[in-house]
């Protein structure tokens, strides 16, 4: 093939020639640059320099070039690997810091597994024109608060509560605590407890978990907790809440 015929070839990447054709001998610097590109991409490891190509130097010189290109490639890979590891490490560290800050300074996060009672319906009356039901799962999607108080017993122990405050719960329906005279809760065992003075003076939490643990079966699906009060005044096993307006 005549030298001019190379211009008519549609060559992929410029150098993918048919097996029976030799690489064009023109463009020494372009050829060297292409060799380096192919080596870095690991498409070509090495090739034999044509004997009549006097502009390139000896086979030994070409071999040195190929060797150096391979060394540069390996060094580049090692550098990329270290960079990837550092990047992954930085991302993990940043995620840990975000979680720590979120747990320390942000609203509490529900970590307990409440799947065994998350869909149990709790009846609400007196808040809207008609009675309706709500579940612990729905309560868990509201802004949460938490508290931990000591239990008065021979053994030093504590009781924890996490869930939306009564204020948060009422605000989701456009109401507020000062609109009601009392809140009466009913348990599954037909026991009732009325909050009147406590409703005005204390912060109540509609607790759906005992800290990072699910509520005990005898307390689920809901416990009314007093944030800064005694755990003795908490009411568990709640299945119905009735509000009375002033």
- Return the minimum-mean-pLDDT range out of 37-46, 171-180, 183-192: 37-46
Query: Would you identify the CATH topology of the domain 122-245?
Result: Sulfite Oxidase; Chain A, domain 2 (3.90.420)
Which of 216, 235, 207 shows the shortest CA–CA distance to 147?
A: 207
**pTM above threshold 0.75:** no
Domain with CATH 3.90.420.10 in the chain: 122-245
**Please, which pLDDT band fits residue 57 given cuts at 50, 70 and 90?**
very low
User: What burial letters (b/e) apply to 89-118, b meaning 16+ CB within 10 Å?
Assistant: eeeeeeeeeeeeeeeeeeebebebebeebb
* Res. 37: pLDDT tops 70: no
* Res. 125: pLDDT tops 90: yes
Phi, psi of 183 (to 5 degrees): -135, 120
**Around 192, how many Cα atoms within 13 Å sit in the side-chain half-sphere?**
9
pLDDT tens, 64-79? 655 655 665 566 555 6
Q: What is the mean pLDDT of the chain?
A: 77
**Please, which pLDDT band fits residue 85 given cuts at 50, 70 and 90?**
confident
* Res. 233: pLDDT tops 90: no
**Please, which pLDDT band fits residue 165 given cuts at 50, 70 and 90?**
very high
The better pLDDT of the pair 5, 221 is held by 221
CA distances from 50 to 18, 22, 24, 198, 217 (A): 17, 9, 11, 97, 85
* Res. 18: pLDDT tops 90: no
Percentage, residues of the chain above pLDDT 90: 43
Contact between residue 108 and residue 146 where contact means Cβ atoms under 8 Å apart: yes
Contact between residue 154 and residue 196 where contact means Cβ atoms under 8 Å apart: no
* Res. 225: pLDDT tops 80: yes
The better pLDDT of the pair 200, 225 is held by 225
Residue 93: the pLDDT is 78
* Res. 209: pLDDT tops 80: yes
* Res. 207: pLDDT tops 50: yes
Residue 242: the pLDDT is 97
Q: How far apart are CA 221 and CA 186, in angstroms?
A: 12
């Amino acid at each position: 093939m005549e030298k001019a015929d190379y211009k008519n070839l549609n060559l992929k990447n410029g150098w993918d020639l048919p097996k029976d054709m030799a690489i064009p001998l023109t463009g020494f610097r372009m050829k060297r640059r292409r060799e380096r590109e192919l080596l870095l991409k690991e498409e070509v490891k090495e090739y034999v320099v044509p004997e009549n190509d006097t502009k390139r130097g000896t086979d030994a010189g070409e071999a040195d070039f190929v060797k150096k290109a391979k060394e540069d490639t390996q060094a580049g890979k090692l550098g990329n690997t270290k960079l990837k590891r550092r990047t992954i490490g930085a991302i993990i560290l940043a995620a840990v810091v975000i979680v720590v800050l979120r747990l320390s300074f942000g609203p509490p996060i529900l970590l307990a597994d409440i799947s065994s009672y998350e869909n149990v319906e709790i009846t609400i009356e007196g808040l809207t024109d008609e009675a309706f039901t709500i579940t612990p799962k729905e309560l868990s999607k509201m802004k949460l608060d938490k508290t931990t108080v000591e239990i008065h017993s021979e053994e030093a122990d504590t009781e924890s509560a996490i869930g939306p405050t009564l204020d948060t719960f009422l605000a989701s329906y456009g109401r507020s605590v000062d609109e009601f005279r009392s809140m009466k809760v009913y348990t599954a065992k037909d026991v009732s407890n009325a909050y009147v003075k406590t409703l005005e003076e204390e912060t109540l939490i509609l607790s759906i978990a005992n800290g990072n643990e699910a509520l005990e079966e005898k307390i689920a699906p809901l416990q009314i907790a007093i944030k800064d009060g005694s755990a003795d005044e908490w009411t568990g096993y709640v299945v119905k809440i009735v509000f009375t307006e002033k």
